[in-house]
Structure formats: structure tokens, C-alpha cells
Amino acid sequence: MQQSDLRLGAENLLITCAGLAAGDRLLVLREEPENTYYDQGIVEAVLETAHALEMRAELRTVPFDPMGGAISADLVAAMKQADRTIFLSRTGDQIRFDASMAGIRPIMSYALDAEMLASGFGQANYTGFVALKDAVNALFAGAREIRVSCPLGTDFSGPGACYAQAGAADVSVTRFPMSVFAPVPASGFSGVVMQDGFLVGTGSKFYDPYGCDLQELLAVHFENSRLTHFSGHEMDVHCAQMHYEKVGQMFDLEPLTMHSWHAGIHPGCAYTMPAANNFERWSGGAFGNPRLMHFHTCGHYAPGEISLNVLDPTISIDGVAVWKGGVFNPLCVPGGAEILAQYPSVQAVFDAPAQEVGQGPNGRLMGAA
């Protein structure tokens, strides 16, 4: 990792994404360092770059609540006083659907360490990926038919994305890097998701156990916004049923729900350790790569409390494979070619896409067992 690359990633966050300039007030919020979800290197890089750019940066440690409790009034007041707030903390992810944040628009960093910030994931122009995400949203919204499959047998289909309001923000927090399109509501879709390796949480709440290992492939059948049944190894079916029931009871919600789904659009996103080493960190750091798509289940809201994850999806929109075996082709998106031409750093990550997304030694998503 070169310091010059780290500086470029930090400038992309602070200037291109946050829109900050010399003299502006920046509030950086981090978890307790002993949590090790974020490394100290990214905290130092953001602060050092902010100071070098003559920004007025303040660092505060925010106690992490696994259950995602409300942010304190004094912290909200501090966020309002700053020109921008950057979360180097899972708290920012937990509040991403909180409408009260819409007027503040804090930034949540999905670059979890200095290496991710210094890579193409952190450096690729933020504005370019926002433009690409908007173009993808428009493509999904205008589709007549969407069909999704994967090498392990996932197969479901439905109409164009019925977004609640055209152009509406799907979250209340600015995400850096921009790495997914707006979640597609499950209404109108039906079929089967072949779940490999494990069931895992969504980053909304961090309960125990956060992941549920699977011995074999688990078929998750759904129709519209409801999971209808599981099929596969008898023990896996039993474990899945019990896990959904337990999480539903834990948070007093309807467990067998399929709320929405989306896939990664940022091929610079790499996750170099097996997912099973740390389910919590993997679920918050790998999802932006186009090799992964995930589903928000267990709850009538995004992101729900249990995530289903598929490796190497093919997503066909009106018969065109925009994602093919985990490779996202922006040239299939209206306006995509122009975005790549305008932003060479975006083109660069598509030219050399990251392949590591938390696979185990067998090249598939694996549980800890």
C-alpha cells in the first residue's frame, strides 16, 4: 500500500464525496478501537488528510450498540453543527434507513481499513459511481422483466423494480464508496434462492448467533414478499426454520418475509479473508462487489434481519444479461459508456475487477463448520 494511494482514497472521501474544503468542519465518529471492525489506519488517514487540507476535523468515539439504539441528542446536535459527519462505525450503517437523518446526510464508510481506502474501491471517483448507480436504478425501474440465476441453481423472476418514488433516496445516509443500486422490492417476484454456506445478519442488529452454518445447499423458495418454504438437507431445513423463528421472536417481527434484493456495482470492492472468519465484518464489507447479490429477509423493512447471499449472479433485464456470472457490464446500462469515458478511475476498476469476496478454499461461500 502506497501512502499516495491512501491519500487519494481519503481525498475521494473528503472532497469528492463529502464536498469539504479548507475551513470546513468535519466530525469523524469511530467505534471503540478494541472492536477492530475498523482499523486505526483508516481513522488516521482520514484525519491526517483532513488536517493537510486545512479542514477543522474532530474525532469522537461513539459506543457501539449491537442492537442499534437511538443516537443521543447531544451527538445529533454535534452532527448538525458540523459541515459533514463521517461514520467509521457500524452505527452509521444501522441508521441508514432512519428518515430523521435525511437532513443531516452523514456519510457511512464501507471502506473498513486503510487497504480498502487506498485500493480502487476507495480511489474510484465517487461521483462517477453515483451516476452509474442512478443509471442502473433507471434501468431496473423501466424494465418489463427481470430474471436472476446463479451457477448453483438460483432462479427467480419478476417485473421492473416498483420503487416507491422515482428518484427518491433509498437510504438517509450517504454511502462511501457507492457500491449498490437501490433495493428492488420483492413484490411481483417469485422463485428460489440457493443459499450456500450460511445465513447471516444484515448489519441492522448484531445478535448472537449472527451466522447460521449450512451443511449443504439450502433452497429458499419465495413468492412475492413471503418465504414459502425451505428444501435441502434435513438438518439445514430445520436449522433455517429455527433461526428465522428465533430472530423473528427476538425482534417481534414476521420472520418469513422477503423484502427486497440488490447486487454490487463496484468491482473495486475486495474482501480478502474468508467470510466465516468474521461474519459481521464480511457482511458489512464485501457486498459491493458485483460477484455478490443479497436479499433483505426477516422483516417488512430494509434491510430486514437475515440476509441471503448469492455468489456470481446473472441478472438479465429484458433479456440482456447486465450481470453475467458475477461480472457487471456497465456498457449494457444506458449512459454507462459515457460514465466510463468521463471517469477514467471508474473504467480502471472495471478493467481489473477484484475477485476476492470472502470465498472459502473451495471457491464458494462457506460457513465456519
**What DSSP string runs through 81-119?**
HSSEEEEESHHHHHTTT-GGGTTT--EEE---SHHHHHS
Q: How long is the chain?
A: 369
Calculate the alpha carbon distances from 139 to 109, 132, 150, 332, 334 in Å: 26, 11, 21, 10, 7
- The residue with greater pLDDT, 51 or 172, is 51
Angle of the 126-141 helix axis to the 344-351 helix axis, nearest 10:
70
User: Per-residue pLDDT averaged across 239-259, rounded?
Assistant: 96
Q: In CATH, what number does 3-118 get? A: 3.40.50.980
Task: Read off the pLDDT of residues 97-145 as tens digits, 9 standing for 90 and up.
Answer: 777 787 888 999 999 999 999 999 999 999 999 999 999 999 999 999 9
133, 31 contact by CB (below 8 A): no
Long-range contacts of 240-249 (CB under 8 A, 24+ apart): 240/199, 240/212, 240/214, 243/199, 243/212, 243/306, 244/297, 244/298, 244/306, 247/207, 247/298, 247/305, 247/306, 248/298
For 289, residues 6+ apart whose C-beta sits below 8 A from its C-beta are 179, 264, 266, 267, 269, 270, 271, 353, 354, 357
Q: In what order do the strands lie in the sheet with 314-317?
A: 226-232, 218-223, 190-195, 155-158, 146-149, 314-317, 320-324, 327-328
Separation of alpha carbons 263 and 36, rounded Å: 26
Range 314-322 average pLDDT:
98
Q: Is the pLDDT of residue 168 over 50?
A: no
Q: Are 212 and 307 in contact (CB under 8 A)?
A: no
The residue among 72 and 356 whose pLDDT is bigger is 356
d(CA 295, CA 218): 15
Quick one: what percent of the chain has pLDDT higher than 90? 89
From the list 175, 124, 109, 126, the residue with the least C-alpha distance to 16 is 126
3-11 vs 40-52: helix axis angle to the nearest 10?
Answer: 70
Average the pLDDT over each of 104-108, 144-148, 260-264 and give the range with the smallest value.
104-108
Where does the chain hold its CATH 3.40.50.980 domain(s)?
Answer: 3-118
pLDDT of 169 over the 70 cut: no
Lowest-pLDDT range of 23-32, 156-165, 356-365: 156-165
Q: Is the Cβ–Cβ distance between 95 and 72 less than 8 Å?
A: no
DSSP state of 360: -
Global pTM? 0.95
Q: In which band, very low, low, confident or very high, does the pLDDT at 368 lie, cut at 50, 70 and 90?
A: confident
Beta-sheet strands, E only, within 225-278:
226-232, 258-263
- Identify which of 15, 7, 169, 23 has the alpha carbon closest to the alpha carbon of residue 82: 23
- Round to whole Å and give the CA distance between 54 and 52: 5
Cell 443479497 belongs to which residue?
A: 294
